[in-house]
Structure 1
Amino acid sequence: MPVSRQRRFPRSRASVRDARAFVRQTLSDWGRTDRTDDLTLCVSELATNALLHGAPPGREYCVSLTLDDSVIRLAVRDSGDRHLDLDRPESGPEACSGRGLPLAREVADDMGVTEHVVGKTVWAAFKSAPPTESPGGSAR
Protein backbone atom coordinates (compact mmCIF):
# COMPACT_ATOMS: atom_id res chain seq x y z
CA MET A 1 0.00 0.00 0.00
CA PRO A 2 1.45 3.42 -0.93
CA VAL A 3 2.54 5.81 1.78
CA SER A 4 2.82 9.55 1.36
CA ARG A 5 3.76 12.77 3.09
CA GLN A 6 3.17 16.34 2.08
CA ARG A 7 4.02 19.75 3.40
CA ARG A 8 3.10 23.28 2.38
CA PHE A 9 5.76 25.94 2.09
CA PRO A 10 5.46 29.73 2.07
CA ARG A 11 6.57 31.84 -0.85
CA SER A 12 10.02 32.63 0.57
CA ARG A 13 13.57 31.82 -0.48
CA ALA A 14 14.20 29.91 2.77
CA SER A 15 11.39 27.52 1.84
CA VAL A 16 13.54 25.84 -0.82
CA ARG A 17 16.06 24.87 1.86
CA ASP A 18 13.18 23.64 4.04
CA ALA A 19 11.75 21.60 1.14
CA ARG A 20 15.13 19.88 0.69
CA ALA A 21 15.23 19.08 4.42
CA PHE A 22 11.66 17.71 4.25
CA VAL A 23 12.62 15.38 1.40
CA ARG A 24 15.83 14.19 3.09
CA GLN A 25 14.00 13.52 6.38
CA THR A 26 11.14 11.67 4.70
CA LEU A 27 13.49 9.45 2.69
CA SER A 28 15.49 8.70 5.81
CA ASP A 29 12.31 7.83 7.75
CA TRP A 30 11.27 5.47 4.95
CA GLY A 31 14.73 3.89 4.73
CA ARG A 32 14.96 4.88 1.06
CA THR A 33 18.21 6.80 0.88
CA ASP A 34 19.66 5.46 -2.39
CA ARG A 35 18.18 8.33 -4.46
CA THR A 36 18.46 11.10 -1.85
CA ASP A 37 20.83 13.23 -3.95
CA ASP A 38 18.63 12.98 -7.06
CA LEU A 39 15.43 13.76 -5.16
CA THR A 40 17.06 16.62 -3.26
CA LEU A 41 18.30 18.15 -6.51
CA CYS A 42 14.87 17.80 -8.11
CA VAL A 43 12.94 19.26 -5.18
CA SER A 44 15.36 22.18 -5.15
CA GLU A 45 14.72 22.91 -8.83
CA LEU A 46 10.96 22.32 -8.72
CA ALA A 47 10.47 24.31 -5.51
CA THR A 48 12.53 27.18 -6.91
CA ASN A 49 10.36 27.21 -10.04
CA ALA A 50 7.18 27.17 -7.93
CA LEU A 51 8.55 29.99 -5.81
CA LEU A 52 9.66 32.18 -8.72
CA HIS A 53 7.00 31.39 -11.33
CA GLY A 54 4.13 29.43 -9.80
CA ALA A 55 3.13 30.66 -6.37
CA PRO A 56 1.57 34.14 -6.51
CA PRO A 57 2.40 36.52 -3.64
CA GLY A 58 0.68 35.47 -0.44
CA ARG A 59 0.21 31.87 -1.55
CA GLU A 60 2.04 28.66 -0.76
CA TYR A 61 3.25 25.68 -2.76
CA CYS A 62 3.01 22.04 -1.71
CA VAL A 63 5.67 19.33 -1.84
CA SER A 64 4.57 15.72 -1.60
CA LEU A 65 6.37 12.39 -1.65
CA THR A 66 4.68 9.07 -2.34
CA LEU A 67 6.32 5.68 -1.96
CA ASP A 68 4.65 2.88 -3.90
CA ASP A 69 6.67 -0.35 -3.89
CA SER A 70 9.96 0.59 -5.55
CA VAL A 71 8.93 4.01 -6.93
CA ILE A 72 9.20 7.34 -5.14
CA ARG A 73 7.12 10.13 -6.65
CA LEU A 74 8.03 13.72 -5.87
CA ALA A 75 5.38 16.33 -6.70
CA VAL A 76 5.39 20.11 -6.35
CA ARG A 77 2.02 21.82 -6.74
CA ASP A 78 1.54 25.56 -7.15
CA SER A 79 -1.44 27.80 -7.83
CA GLY A 80 0.05 29.91 -10.60
CA ASP A 81 -1.39 30.20 -14.09
CA ARG A 82 1.87 29.80 -16.00
CA HIS A 83 1.74 26.86 -18.42
CA LEU A 84 4.78 24.61 -18.37
CA ASP A 85 5.97 22.58 -21.34
CA LEU A 86 8.67 20.10 -20.38
CA ASP A 87 9.41 19.35 -24.02
CA ARG A 88 10.38 22.93 -24.88
CA PRO A 89 13.56 24.44 -23.42
CA GLU A 90 13.02 27.57 -21.34
CA SER A 91 16.20 29.29 -22.51
CA GLY A 92 19.06 29.27 -24.98
CA PRO A 93 22.67 28.17 -24.39
CA GLU A 94 23.81 31.67 -23.34
CA ALA A 95 21.04 32.21 -20.75
CA CYS A 96 21.86 32.48 -17.05
CA SER A 97 18.78 30.49 -15.97
CA GLY A 98 16.36 27.91 -17.29
CA ARG A 99 18.43 24.79 -16.74
CA GLY A 100 16.60 23.42 -13.69
CA LEU A 101 13.87 21.42 -15.45
CA PRO A 102 16.21 19.81 -18.00
CA LEU A 103 18.52 18.86 -15.12
CA ALA A 104 15.61 17.38 -13.16
CA ARG A 105 14.49 15.41 -16.23
CA GLU A 106 17.99 14.02 -16.57
CA VAL A 107 18.15 12.52 -13.05
CA ALA A 108 14.49 11.40 -12.75
CA ASP A 109 13.26 8.14 -14.25
CA ASP A 110 10.05 9.84 -15.40
CA MET A 111 8.67 13.37 -15.20
CA GLY A 112 5.54 15.24 -16.13
CA VAL A 113 3.11 18.06 -15.49
CA THR A 114 -0.50 17.76 -14.43
CA GLU A 115 -2.56 20.88 -15.11
CA HIS A 116 -5.37 21.74 -12.68
CA VAL A 117 -8.23 24.23 -12.85
CA VAL A 118 -6.04 26.40 -10.62
CA GLY A 119 -2.32 25.79 -10.90
CA LYS A 120 -0.32 22.72 -11.81
CA THR A 121 1.67 19.86 -10.33
CA VAL A 122 5.15 19.09 -11.63
CA TRP A 123 6.14 15.56 -10.68
CA ALA A 124 9.16 13.32 -11.00
CA ALA A 125 9.38 9.58 -10.38
CA PHE A 126 12.42 7.67 -9.16
CA LYS A 127 13.01 3.92 -9.01
CA SER A 128 14.36 3.04 -5.58
CA ALA A 129 16.19 0.10 -4.06
CA PRO A 130 14.62 -1.85 -1.18
CA PRO A 131 14.73 -0.17 2.24
CA THR A 132 18.14 0.35 3.77
CA GLU A 133 19.11 -1.52 6.89
CA SER A 134 18.92 0.30 10.19
CA PRO A 135 21.96 0.13 12.54
CA GLY A 136 20.22 -2.69 14.47
CA GLY A 137 20.22 -4.84 11.34
CA SER A 138 16.50 -4.86 10.50
CA ALA A 139 14.89 -3.00 7.66
CA ARG A 140 12.78 0.03 8.52
Structure 2
Amino acid sequence: MKDATQLPYFHKRFYRRTPRSVPMARDFGRKTLERWGLTDRADDVLLCVSELATNALLHGVPVGRGFLLHMWLLDDLVVRLEMHDSGDGRPVASLTAPAEDARGRGLLLVDALADTWGVGERDPGKVVWCEFACAPAEGQA
Protein backbone atom coordinates (compact mmCIF):
# COMPACT_ATOMS: atom_id res chain seq x y z
CA MET A 1 0.00 0.00 0.00
CA LYS A 2 1.19 3.53 -0.68
CA ASP A 3 2.14 6.03 2.01
CA ALA A 4 -0.86 6.59 4.27
CA THR A 5 -0.26 10.37 4.15
CA GLN A 6 -1.55 10.22 0.57
CA LEU A 7 -4.96 8.90 1.64
CA PRO A 8 -7.75 9.02 0.70
CA TYR A 9 -7.45 7.20 -2.58
CA PHE A 10 -10.26 7.48 -5.09
CA HIS A 11 -11.07 5.53 -8.24
CA LYS A 12 -14.21 5.61 -10.36
CA ARG A 13 -15.56 3.91 -13.45
CA PHE A 14 -18.67 4.40 -15.57
CA TYR A 15 -20.67 1.40 -16.84
CA ARG A 16 -23.35 1.18 -19.48
CA ARG A 17 -26.73 -0.45 -18.90
CA THR A 18 -25.74 -4.00 -19.90
CA PRO A 19 -25.41 -7.26 -17.93
CA ARG A 20 -21.68 -7.36 -18.82
CA SER A 21 -21.22 -4.34 -16.58
CA VAL A 22 -21.66 -6.38 -13.38
CA PRO A 23 -18.59 -8.63 -13.85
CA MET A 24 -16.67 -5.64 -15.22
CA ALA A 25 -17.46 -3.65 -12.05
CA ARG A 26 -16.46 -6.62 -9.89
CA ASP A 27 -13.15 -6.93 -11.77
CA PHE A 28 -12.51 -3.20 -11.35
CA GLY A 29 -13.20 -3.57 -7.62
CA ARG A 30 -10.83 -6.54 -7.29
CA LYS A 31 -8.02 -4.74 -9.11
CA THR A 32 -8.56 -1.60 -7.03
CA LEU A 33 -8.39 -3.54 -3.75
CA GLU A 34 -5.22 -5.32 -4.92
CA ARG A 35 -3.66 -1.98 -5.89
CA TRP A 36 -4.40 -0.70 -2.40
CA GLY A 37 -3.02 -3.87 -0.78
CA LEU A 38 -6.35 -4.67 0.90
CA THR A 39 -7.49 -8.25 0.49
CA ASP A 40 -8.80 -9.29 3.93
CA ARG A 41 -12.41 -8.35 3.10
CA ALA A 42 -12.21 -8.61 -0.67
CA ASP A 43 -14.95 -11.25 -0.90
CA ASP A 44 -17.36 -9.07 1.11
CA VAL A 45 -16.53 -5.94 -0.88
CA LEU A 46 -16.79 -7.68 -4.26
CA LEU A 47 -20.10 -9.34 -3.42
CA CYS A 48 -21.46 -5.92 -2.50
CA VAL A 49 -20.12 -4.45 -5.76
CA SER A 50 -22.04 -7.19 -7.59
CA GLU A 51 -25.24 -6.63 -5.64
CA LEU A 52 -25.20 -2.84 -5.98
CA ALA A 53 -24.31 -3.00 -9.68
CA THR A 54 -27.10 -5.53 -10.29
CA ASN A 55 -29.58 -3.37 -8.39
CA ALA A 56 -28.52 -0.32 -10.40
CA LEU A 57 -29.10 -2.22 -13.65
CA LEU A 58 -32.42 -3.74 -12.62
CA HIS A 59 -33.95 -0.84 -10.73
CA GLY A 60 -31.92 2.35 -11.09
CA VAL A 61 -30.64 2.91 -14.61
CA PRO A 62 -33.11 4.19 -17.19
CA VAL A 63 -32.74 2.95 -20.77
CA GLY A 64 -29.87 4.70 -22.54
CA ARG A 65 -28.04 5.59 -19.34
CA GLY A 66 -25.49 3.93 -17.08
CA PHE A 67 -24.17 3.87 -13.55
CA LEU A 68 -21.01 5.07 -11.88
CA LEU A 69 -18.97 3.10 -9.32
CA HIS A 70 -16.82 5.13 -6.94
CA MET A 71 -14.31 3.41 -4.65
CA TRP A 72 -12.64 5.35 -1.87
CA LEU A 73 -9.95 4.31 0.57
CA LEU A 74 -10.36 6.58 3.56
CA ASP A 75 -7.75 7.53 6.16
CA ASP A 76 -8.65 4.80 8.64
CA LEU A 77 -8.40 1.99 6.03
CA VAL A 78 -12.11 2.05 5.34
CA VAL A 79 -13.16 1.08 1.82
CA ARG A 80 -16.22 3.00 0.69
CA LEU A 81 -18.24 1.93 -2.35
CA GLU A 82 -20.70 4.28 -3.97
CA MET A 83 -23.04 3.24 -6.77
CA HIS A 84 -24.46 6.31 -8.53
CA ASP A 85 -27.49 5.97 -10.80
CA SER A 86 -30.04 8.34 -12.28
CA GLY A 87 -33.17 6.32 -11.60
CA ASP A 88 -36.14 7.19 -9.43
CA GLY A 89 -37.01 5.45 -6.20
CA ARG A 90 -35.20 4.68 -3.01
CA PRO A 91 -33.95 1.13 -2.34
CA VAL A 92 -34.99 -0.61 0.86
CA ALA A 93 -33.76 -3.92 2.28
CA SER A 94 -36.77 -6.23 2.04
CA LEU A 95 -37.48 -8.69 4.81
CA THR A 96 -40.60 -9.96 3.07
CA ALA A 97 -39.36 -11.58 -0.15
CA PRO A 98 -41.15 -14.93 -0.51
CA ALA A 99 -38.86 -17.95 -0.10
CA GLU A 100 -39.52 -19.11 -3.67
CA ASP A 101 -38.49 -15.74 -5.20
CA ALA A 102 -35.04 -15.63 -6.78
CA ARG A 103 -34.75 -11.88 -6.18
CA GLY A 104 -35.20 -9.40 -3.37
CA ARG A 105 -32.33 -10.18 -1.00
CA GLY A 106 -29.44 -8.11 -2.38
CA LEU A 107 -29.61 -5.29 0.15
CA LEU A 108 -29.95 -7.83 2.96
CA LEU A 109 -26.58 -9.22 1.84
CA VAL A 110 -25.11 -5.72 1.74
CA ASP A 111 -26.50 -5.08 5.23
CA ALA A 112 -24.99 -8.33 6.53
CA LEU A 113 -21.54 -7.88 4.93
CA ALA A 114 -20.85 -4.14 5.13
CA ASP A 115 -20.06 -2.32 8.35
CA THR A 116 -22.53 0.38 7.36
CA TRP A 117 -24.57 1.34 4.29
CA GLY A 118 -27.12 3.85 3.19
CA VAL A 119 -28.73 5.82 0.40
CA GLY A 120 -27.98 9.43 -0.50
CA GLU A 121 -29.51 11.98 -2.81
CA ARG A 122 -28.22 12.76 -6.29
CA ASP A 123 -29.71 14.92 -9.02
CA PRO A 124 -30.97 13.02 -10.85
CA GLY A 125 -31.19 9.74 -8.97
CA LYS A 126 -29.44 8.40 -5.90
CA VAL A 127 -26.22 7.04 -4.45
CA VAL A 128 -26.23 3.70 -2.65
CA TRP A 129 -23.08 3.37 -0.54
CA CYS A 130 -21.46 0.94 1.87
CA GLU A 131 -18.25 0.87 3.93
CA PHE A 132 -15.84 -1.84 5.10
CA ALA A 133 -13.11 -1.48 7.72
CA CYS A 134 -10.04 -3.29 6.38
CA ALA A 135 -6.62 -4.36 7.55
CA PRO A 136 -3.47 -3.98 5.44
CA ALA A 137 -2.18 -7.12 3.73
CA GLU A 138 0.56 -9.07 5.50
CA GLY A 139 3.85 -7.20 5.27
CA GLN A 140 2.19 -3.90 4.30
CA ALA A 141 1.28 -2.56 7.72
TM over 0.5: yes
Q: 1:117 to 1:90 in 2, by over 3 A?
A: farther
User: What CA distance in whole angstroms lies between the structure 2 residues aligned with 1:132 and 1:64?
Assistant: 26
* Structure 1 match to 2:37: 31
For 2:110 and 2:34, the matched residues in 1 are separated by: 21
Alpha-carbon deviation of 1:132? 4.1
Q: Distance in 1 between matches of 2:9 and 2:58?
A: 29
Whether 1:18 aligns to 2:18 is no
User: When the two structures are superposed, what TM-score results if normalisation uses the length of structure 1?
Assistant: 0.89
Off by >3 Å, runs of 4+ in structure 1: none
Which residue is 1:121 aligned to?
127
Residue 83 of structure 1, CA deviation = 1.9
Q: Does 1:71 align with 2:78?
A: yes
User: Conserved in 1, the CA contact under 8 Å of 2:120 and 2:127?
Assistant: yes
Q: Choose the corresponding residue for 1:46, options 52, 71, 76.
A: 52
Structure 2 unaligned spans of 5+? 1-6
2:62 paired residue number: 56
Please say if 1:83 is aligned against 2:98. no
Q: 1:100 to 1:15 in 2, by over 3 A?
A: same
CA distance in 2, matches of 1:80, 1:90: 23
What secondary structure sits across from 2:132 in the alignment?
strand
**Aligned equivalent of 1:9, options 12, 15, 33:** 15
When normalised by structure 2's length, the TM-score is 0.88
| Corresponding residue of 1:136 | none
The count of residues paired between Structure 1 and Structure 2 equals 134
Q: Which runs of 5+ in 1 are unaligned?
A: 134-138
Tell me how large the CA RMSD over aligned residues is: 1.6
Counterparts in 2 of 1:90 and 1:101: CA distance versus 1, 3 Å: farther
CA distance in 2, matches of 1:90, 1:116: 28
